[in-house]
């Protein structure tokens, strides 16, 4: 019996593959995607299963699948939904449609909570409105001495938070399905918590201009309620005031225009100090208050 023929060359050689990715980037740029080159590369690597730099080409099934993904991205379907993953502070988190996609500005919010937790040997940290569990997982991974409790009212998001936290920090995060602002939620921890962190819904009505956010992120995770979007954030400040021990720290993400109101709300709730921190773009982005 003769030996089987050796496999033929890939249908796209390395030069054709890179040309296809460059063409995809141009298509995404024309569609208004903010980072077309990066998105085109990540979609290709998602299908290739390896870095584009290391790839010598692609098989015959690559191009149709790649063009389909690029078309969906050009239609402004979120990159994270297409890849099935998103990232925060170097962690790869799973994501699903119907659950809020974590944003780059939350990097500094999570970092502030991590720093506060690391200042103690065995801190108790509560993440209110945890969504996908991104911040809770980051705290658990970066502050390994911490006990972390995460609260989320939406069932699908809470299920994803459990999945993300258990995969990234096994046994380290307890996810509670509950209203983060209700007085009875975690009432047994009142006065005992060292750090409360939260990225709650906070957008004012009508403030969403990005097509991807408007079409794909759940409204309940975006809008904070009331004329200025502050109903939920102010309620979180009140709940945090009850949960925290004296000297405990609250880190609360907010819209750039909400800093003054939330500092005032923190002082009214009994916090000793309240200050506004900035995100990586220099915009007012979070409240840091000490009980």
- Per the CB < 8 A criterion, the answer to whether 24 and 35 are in contact is no
Cβ partners under 8 Å of residue 247, min gap 6: 290, 291
Nearest to 55 by CA among 116, 105, 12: 12
Question: How are beta strands 147-152 and 273-278 bridged, if at all?
Answer: unpaired
- Per the CB < 8 A criterion, the answer to whether 236 and 166 are in contact is no
Residue 1 binned pLDDT confidence (cut-offs 50, 70, 90): very low
254-276: pLDDT as tens digits: 999 999 999 999 999 999 999 99
Q: Does the pTM of the predicted model rise above 0.85?
A: yes
- In whole angstroms, give the CA distance from residue 54 to residue 158: 37
Structure confidence at residue 211 (pLDDT): 74
Is the pLDDT assigned to residue 3 strictly greater than 70?
Answer: no
Nearest to 140 by CA among 159, 158, 167: 167
Which of 52-56, 264-268, 277-281 has the highest average model confidence (pLDDT)?
264-268
14-45: pLDDT as tens digits: 999 999 999 999 999 999 998 999 999 999 99
Is the pLDDT assigned to residue 280 strictly greater than 60?
Answer: yes
Alpha helices in the chain (DSSP H): 14-30, 36-48, 62-74, 79-83, 106-118, 134-142, 155-168, 211-216, 231-243, 259-268
Nearest to 230 by CA among 200, 251, 208: 200
Is the pLDDT assigned to residue 6 strictly greater than 80?
Answer: no
Question: How are beta strands 284-290 and 273-278 bridged, if at all?
Answer: antiparallel
């Amino acid at each position: 019996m003769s030996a089987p023929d050796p496999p033929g060359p890939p249908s796209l050689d390395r030069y054709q593959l890179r040309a296809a990715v460059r063409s995809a980037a141009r298509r995404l740029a024309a569609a208004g995607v903010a980072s077309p080159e990066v998105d085109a590369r990540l979609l290709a690597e998602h299908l290739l299963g390896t870095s584009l730099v290391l790839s010598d080409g692609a098989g015959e099934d690559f191009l149709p699948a790649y063009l389909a993904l690029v078309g969906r991205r050009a239609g402004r379907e979120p990159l994270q939904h297409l890849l099935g993953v998103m990232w925060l502070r170097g962690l790869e988190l799973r994501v699903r449609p119907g659950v809020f996609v974590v944003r780059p500005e939350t990097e500094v919010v999570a970092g502030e909570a991590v720093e506060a937790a690391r200042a103690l040997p065995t801190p108790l940290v509560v993440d209110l409105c945890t969504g996908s569990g991104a911040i809770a997982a980051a705290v658990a991974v970066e502050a390994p001495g911490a006990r972390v409790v995460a609260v989320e009212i939406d069932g699908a998001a809470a299920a994803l938070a459990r999945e993300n936290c258990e995969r990234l920090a096994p046994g380290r995060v307890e996810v509670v399905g509950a209203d983060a602002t209700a007085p009875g939620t975690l009432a047994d921890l009142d006065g005992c918590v060292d750090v409360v962190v939260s990225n709650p819904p906070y957008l004012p009505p009508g403030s969403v201009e990005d097509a991807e956010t408007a079409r794909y992120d759940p409204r309940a995770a975006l809008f904070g309620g009331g004329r200025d979007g502050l109903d939920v954030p102010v309620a979180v400040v009140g709940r945090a005031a009850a949960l925290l021990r004296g000297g405990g720290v609250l880190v609360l993400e907010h819209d750039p225009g909400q800093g003054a109101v939330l500092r005032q709300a923190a002082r009214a709730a009994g916090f000793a100090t309240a200050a506004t921190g900035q995100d990586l773009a220099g915009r007012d982005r979070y409240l840091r208050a000490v009980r």
